[in-house]
Structure 1
Amino acid sequence: MQYFSLQDPQHKASFETAVVQGIAPDKGLYFPEQIPSLDPDFITNLHAYTDHEIGYEVIRPFVGDEIPEETLRKIVQDTLHFPFPVQKVTGHLYALELFHGPTLAFKDVGARFMAGCLGHFRRNSSQPVTVLVATSGDTGGAVASGFYNVPGVDVVILYPSGKVSTLQEKQLTTLGGNIRALEIQGTFDDCQQMVKTAFLDADIQRYRRLTSANSINVARWLPQMFYYFLAYKQMKAAHPRLVFAVPSGNFGNICAGMMAAAIGLPVSHFVAATNINDTVPRFMHNGKYEPGKAVPTLSNAMDVADPSNFVRILQLFGNNLPSLREKFTAFSFTDKDTIRTIEQVWKENHYMLDPHGAVGYLGLQQYLASAPELTGVFLETAHPVKFEDTAPRAVRDEIYTPPRVMSLYGKEKTATLLPADYTALKNWLMR
């Protein structure tokens, strides 16, 4: 499989190059040159395959022969080593729980798959590669866990000071080893812009081999298709066509779901649910893409004003807005909506939502109100304990704390404080 830059389609790259570079030299995101089609019999008989077999069949066309079959199967097995249960919440609304991995967030899937791929590609290299990544919350912990002690790989994580939860910060600042955390005095958009600028800096490129582990990297983005197939496997007997509602910040997760549909997964509709950082819902309404400044919210992993992956969604639909509207709807919700929903769903259904899952639930609920004959699955992307310190008081004491979380709170944070200024990052990387 070849990949091309969305800035310049003439710029082509192999899967390995796309993974190792992270972003094209012209600052464009990589996109597969062809959209493969899965065998319809595979979809029909999905129930007969193990989760690992499904993951392998889904990702193989995007990797080609660049990773040997045995190695790729092992990478998929290591990625999907925890469950992805679908739980009924109420009526036709179901939750796909993506928080059963090592860092209690959906990003464990992409981070672990990318770590396996990058470890394979760099196994014989004498020059270490630096994974440079910005996080608005869960990416940092997942990347830190996935890449911890991977030979030949250093990890540098930028996160906005005071804008991630206590547990999220502990997950990305306490491992040590090959993991370094930079606490930036700014927003996630500041962090992301600093990372993007570093990739285009010739001075740094001469000094360090950089790659990204954000969802702009194809090895982070594409494996997220796995759990849409796994949800469908669990639901298809009773509900052959589903609506998926996805809490959305950088839009990599929902874009992976839409790629899953493009290669053959039967999906009726996708709903992007955002907080008040509503650039995409406004675009879907008026056709104008006008990102502002990110605003902090309770669903902090979605505090993104200019989502990088939305350009990939547009590419999937040939940049045709009417076609996109047929399969994709976007809604935004306030923190007040989020708190009310967490309290209400716990009281009425005894199901605990995290703030991001609550936004996804609201998006699904709003869409199904106009399509009551359909069944929907919203993605519960993080364990509620990750947001215990901002949870509504009415439910805070009801949140279950896994034992591995308790041990994290006693660990000492190690991070370097930097201003939201690219020169400061460059000086740190060149030191």
Structure 2
Amino acid sequence: MKLYNLKDSNEEVNFLNAIQHGLGKKQGLFFPKYLPKFNSHDLKKLISMDFITRSTHILSHFISDEISLNDLKKQIQSAFSFTQPIIAPVTKNISCLELFHGPTLAFKDFGARFMATMLSYWKNENSIMTILTATSGDTGAAVAHAFYCMHNIRVVILYPKGRISALQEKLFCTLGKNIHTIAVDGSFDDCQYLVKKSFNDTKLKNKIGLNSANSINISRLLAQICYYFEAFALIPPQYHNDIIISVPCGNFGNLTAGFIAKSLGLPIKSFIAATNANDTVPRFLKTGIWNPHNTISTISNAMDISQPNNWPRVEELFKRKKWNLQNLTSKSISDAKTIRTLQELHKIGYISEPHAAIAYRALKKNIQKTDFGLFLGTAHPAKFQDTIEKVLNIKLNLPNSLQSRVHLKNFSHQMKPNFLNLKNFLLTQI
């Protein structure tokens, strides 16, 4: 399988090169040159498989010439060795696809752990790699735990100081060893800018073996395709042509994976791109003008992103498939509406969290009685304990994976959003 650089189509790499380098020339994103297509017979066979076998079959179409099927299955078994996605009914025709039953209680566990196992499989034992990634909340924990104590792999995670929940921070800033965390005095977009700036420094990149575990890395994106097929397998067959999926969007990697799943033959009726007040994409779809505003802090902090990295992949896929972007529904939901939605969900017996609530709200406004609506639950409500307890006036029990870290020391460094400071840290402090 070849992948090409969206900013320089002459640059083509294989899967191994793509996950090792993260970005191509001119900081271009890699995208598959060939997208397989499953017909109805193929799809029927896929749906009959278990999650691991099906995921192996799907991902083998992208990387089978670089790894044997047996070895790929072993890596996927290792990566996805936690509770699989669950569909939780919420109303008569709306359910939540819960993707937060992994080790760090977020959907990011799928992509981060798959990337880690694949890099571990291929990595030269004596070479040193530095994973530099930015997080708006959940990526940091997933990446940190996926790469924790891996030989000759150092992880540096940037996050916006004071703009992620205390429990999100505890999950990845208390590990130490090969995991280094930096609280940046700025927004997630500032963190993301520093990552891009680092990749643009060729000498730095080569000297420390720089790589990224953000959703700009194609391995994370491909892994996420798998749970869309799992969702389809869990939904009763009579609804298979009437599925609407609402995705809470920040960097738009989750939605990109959903569209790739659709392009492979999954008959999803439509997707909804749900955002918070950081509404760059909804405004773009209305006006045709790409005009990111300053990032706004919200209670759905993992979506506080004004310049979503994966949007070029969405545009590229729509162009290749000759789909019309104007047919994509994208809704921006305010904090006030998010709070009301959390309360509404609680009244009908479902405890959610802000990101999923946004997806539910957007879905509820854009669904017909004959549709099967699915909104993505991307993080466990307990990760937002303070917000949920205050909004719903309840007491949440923390899962063990969170409770065990509450009183641990935070090892984070503090930094202004200055590239030279970061460069010095990367060269001297790790």
Which interval holds the TM-score relative to the shorter structure? over 0.9
Residue in 1 that maps onto 2:247? 246
2:98 match: 97
- Determine the C-alpha separation between the residues in 2 that align with 1:322 and 1:142: 33
Residue of structure 2 equivalent to 1:425: 422
Q: Distance in 1 between matches of 2:190 and 2:396?
A: 32
Counterpart residue number, 2:291? 290
**Inter-partner Cα distance in structure 1 for 2:425 and 2:393:** 39
Give the C-alpha shift of residue 403 in structure 1: 2.2
1:241-390 residue pairs with structure 2 within 5 A? 241=241, 242-318=243-319, 323-326=324-327, 328-347=328-347, 349-368=348-367, 371-390=368-387
2:180 & 2:323 partners in 1: Cα distance? Answer: 44
Which residue of the partner structure matches residue 226 of structure 1? Answer: 226
Tell me, yes or no, if the aligned pair for 2:294 and 2:306 is still in contact at 8 Å: yes
List gaps (5 residues or longer) in structure 1.
Answer: none
- Output one character per residue of 1:290-329: Cα deviation in whole Å (capped at 9) or x when no partner: 1121111000000000101011010011189971233x21
Secondary structure of the residue aligned to 1:37 is: coil
TM normalised by structure 2 equals 0.96
Preserved contact between residue 51 and residue 80 of structure 1 (Cα < 8 Å): no
Residue deviations 1:56-103 (CA, integer Å, cap 9, x gap):
111111113212222210121122222211011002111000110000
Query: Aligned to 1:393, which of 358, 381, 390?
Result: 390
Residue ranges of structure 2 left out of the alignment (5+ in a row) = none
Map residues 10-409 of structure 1 onto 2, 5 A cutoff.
Answer: 10-81=10-81, 82-122=83-123, 124-241=124-241, 242-318=243-319, 323-326=324-327, 328-347=328-347, 349-368=348-367, 371-391=368-388, 393-409=390-406
CA shift for structure 1 position 392:
5.4
Structure 1 Cα separation of the partners of residues 48 and 256 of structure 2: 26
- 1:37 CA displacement: 1.3
- Any conservation in 2 of the 1:388–1:396 contact (CA below 8 Å)? no
Any idea what SS the aligned residue of 2:375 has? Answer: strand
| Aligned residue pairs, count | 426
Paired letter, 1:106:
F
Distance 1:31 1:339 in 2: 37
Alignment RMSD (CA, Å)? 1.5
Identity over the aligned pairs, expressed in percent? 39
The residue matched to 1:376 in structure 2 has which SS? strand
TM-score between the two structures when normalised by the length of structure 1: 0.96
Describe the shift of the 1:264–1:321 C-alpha distance in structure 2 as closer, same or farther (beyond 3 A).
closer
8 Å Cα contact 2:47/2:232 also seen in 1: no
Question: Which amino acid in the other structure matches residue 381 of structure 1?
Answer: T
Q: Could you tell me how far 1:25 is from its partner in structure 2? A: 2.2
CA gap 1:200/1:365 in 2 versus in 1, 3 angstroms = same
Render the CA deviation track for 1:411-431: whole Å, top value 9, x for unaligned.
111011111111110111111
3-state SS in 2 of match to 1:244: strand
Q: What secondary structure, in the 3-state scheme, does the structure 1 residue paired with 2:27 have?
A: coil
Q: Using the TM superposition, give the Cα deviation of residue 133 of structure 1 relative to its aligned residue in structure 2, in angstroms.
A: 0.2
